[in-house]
Amino acid sequence: MLKLLKVKNLALIDELELKLHPGLNVLTGETGAGKSILINAISLAVGERADIEQIRTGADAAIVEATFDLSGREAIQQTLKELCGSEQDELVICRVLERIGRTRCFINGHPVSLKALKRVGELLVDIHGQHEHQSLLHPETHLAYLDRYGGERLKELLEEYRSLYDALKEVEGLRRKIMSSERDRERRIDLLRYQIREIDAAKLVTGEEEELRSERHRLLHSEKLIEAVERVRRCLHGDEEAEGAVPLLMSALAELRKASQWDDGLNEHSGQIEQLLYSLEDVTKCIDEYASKLEFNPQRLEEIEGRLALISALKRKYGDSVEEVLAYRQRIEAELNLLESHEEHLEELERKSSELRQRLAHVAGELSKVRNESAKEMERAMEEQLHSLMMDRARFKVSLVREVDENGLAVDGDKYAFDRDGIDRVEFLISPNEGEPLKPLAKIASGGEISRIMLALRAILRSAHEIPTLIFDEIDVGIGGRTAEAVGKKLKSVSRYAQVICVTHLPQIACMADAHISVRKVIHRGRTVIQVHHLSFDERVAEIARMLAGARVTETTLKQAAEMLTGQAG
């Protein structure tokens, strides 16, 4: 459940803390007092879309921090462990919205992506506002409600169906690609064959280009190399003008050995010079061998230039390096094999497509069967909930229909159109009054009825999904009197197994609250700010009296408000 909400610099909120309690939390206040801003703050905390216009004027950033108690919430803790590497009984979410357009998200102090925050948020809070009332009027949303009500069995079937559906679409997409214009296929085959021949003719070798460039560099400077190496050899061997390093070092060694007859301590230095001489003789030998191979070879240089030009030409066409050119050759060879064996491959794809369609049709049939069973259960559950919400004569129907399509899936002896959700088309029908036929919600339900239908849906869906906090923003639109009392009791009932936060203008709902919070606008230091306050019993009496009578609160109204609260407490 949501324990604490801290908000800073969001819309009209300067800085506030809102403590929330288990059970039913009610937010009341005058129209425009800022109740929906608090709901919006919670939405931001759990990853909903943000707008920099929400940042308070004069501030660089808005900050929302929400603290949740996760005791006993294993599914949420497991998700948290996957994202942050830890699972705790308390979860602190922080979202920072900056005016420069950047948003930063943190879970228990760890930076996370907005996608990760939203993933956790969906497990924590279910926010139901006016836009969702209206979503009920669109039949395309109804299938998702039915599938959600169907629980784990339906969820597993739908996941299996979608996996097969995606596999089928991949196979059929490849099949269509192969079956595209035969002329284009032949052209492509000719092109690929030419490219493979061109690359193969070059006989490219990994690392060859670097070796060729190094050899070219030597050949381009071969004359200078010959001169330099010859100077080195003269320094090592000596010539007519000067004695070389090797003879000099040999002479030094001979003299030192002679001197060591008179001082044994010189033997150590003799050994050192001897090692130097061995090393120098090795170097001399290598230099002599290198010098013997040095030559100015214009023909070889021309060969190298031609080879490098060929490699460069192939790189311009097929890749930025020899490795990439060779990798490209492997890819096009695979494509060529596919195109040349397209008849055999088409047969294989057709076999796979037929097999996948059969499996998909089987799962689609099972999915449809479970949906029909869930629909009947949902109808009974919804009618029970609607009757308790003062829609005593209401009948609720989940209509499942299939569309015949000769290219569809073969299920139950016929072929039906299908998409990623299956073969079923779902629409909720209702008859609010006795004697009236069942009709689509959009054609018959009033605003107040839509609110109650949505609350009934929430009540029955709660049993299948363990979301700890439910938020209802103005669920009371279009209702009053005994109906408002019934809605209040339903919210109270739902709050026994989930924390409920409700924005309301109705005293019949407000008097049911376990925690009653007043939201109001005040002027502070010349600016309008929003403040929240947990009401005591006497303050609740005054607030409910205001909700009953408006500005003209009388003793009679106060007494009525007190009786309403006392009656609920009893």
Q: Quick: pLDDT tens for 46-81.
A: 888 888 888 898 889 999 999 998 887 776 777 777
> Quick check: 272 pLDDT over 90?
no
Report pLDDT for 370: 96
> Quick check: 316 pLDDT over 70?
yes
Calculate mean pLDDT across residues 311-328. 91
Report pLDDT for 461: 79
Kindly report the backbone phi and psi dihedral angles of residue 495, in degrees, each rounded to the nearest multiple of 5, phi listed first: -70, -5
- State pLDDT tens for residues 14-34: 889 999 999 999 999 888 888
Closest of 529, 478, 482, 530 to residue 504, by C-alpha: 478
Report pLDDT for 85: 64
Which range is least confidently modeled, 110-114, 476-480, 506-510? Answer: 476-480
Report pLDDT for 274: 78
Cβ–Cβ < 8 Å for 113, 105 = yes
CATH class of 1-135+468-517: alpha beta
Residue 464 pLDDT level (bands cut at 50, 70, 90): very low
Report pLDDT for 535: 93
Residue 552 pLDDT level (bands cut at 50, 70, 90): confident
Report pLDDT for 63: 93
- The DSSP string of 278-334 is HHHHHHHHHHHHHHHH----HHHHHHHHHHHHHHHHHHHHH-SSHHHHHHHHHHHHH
Q: Is 8 helix (H, G, I), strand (E, B) or coil?
A: strand
Calculate mean pLDDT across residues 324-345. 86
Is the pTM higher than 0.75? The answer reads no
Residue 415 pLDDT level (bands cut at 50, 70, 90): very high
Q: What percentage of residues in the chain have a pLDDT greater than 70? A: 92
Which range is least confidently modeled, 51-60, 289-298, 341-350? Answer: 289-298
Residue 456 pLDDT level (bands cut at 50, 70, 90): confident
> Quick check: 86 pLDDT over 70?
no
Cβ atoms within 10 A of the Cβ of 70, count? Answer: 19
Report pLDDT for 133: 54
Report pLDDT for 379: 95
Cβ–Cβ < 8 Å for 547, 507 = yes
- State pLDDT tens for residues 210-259: 888 887 777 776 667 766 777 777 777 766 666 777 777 777 777 777 77
Q: Encode burial over 251-290: b for 16+ CB neighbours within 10 A, e otherwise.
A: eebeebeeeeeeeeebeeebeebeeebeebeeebeebeee
CA distance 481 to 347: 69
389: buried, middle or exposed (CB in 10 Å: 19+, 13-18, 0-12)?
A: buried
Calculate mean pLDDT across residues 303-312. 87
Of 82 and 440, which is predicted with more confidence? 440
Q: Encode burial over 360-383: b for 16+ CB neighbours within 10 A, e otherwise.
A: bbebbbbbbebbeebbeebbebbb
> Quick check: 330 pLDDT over 90?
yes
The first and second tokens of residue 379, run together, are 């109808």
User: Which range has highest mean pLDDT (114-128, 251-265, 362-376)?
Assistant: 362-376
- State pLDDT tens for residues 160-206: 999 999 999 999 988 887 776 666 788 888 999 999 999 999 998 88
User: Which range has highest mean pLDDT (242-251, 311-320, 457-466)?
Assistant: 311-320
CA distance 553 to 61: 41
Report pLDDT for 19: 94
- State pLDDT tens for residues 107-118: 888 888 888 888
Of 7 and 286, which is predicted with more confidence? 7
> Quick check: 470 pLDDT over 80?
yes
Kindly report the backbone phi and psi dihedral angles of residue 319, in degrees, each rounded to the nearest multiple of 5, phi listed first: 170, 165
Which range is least confidently modeled, 81-85, 393-397, 426-430, 479-483? Answer: 81-85
Strand order in the sheet with 499-503: 125-128, 469-473, 499-503, 24-28, 515-524, 527-534
Domain extent listing, the chain = 1-135+468-517, 208-333
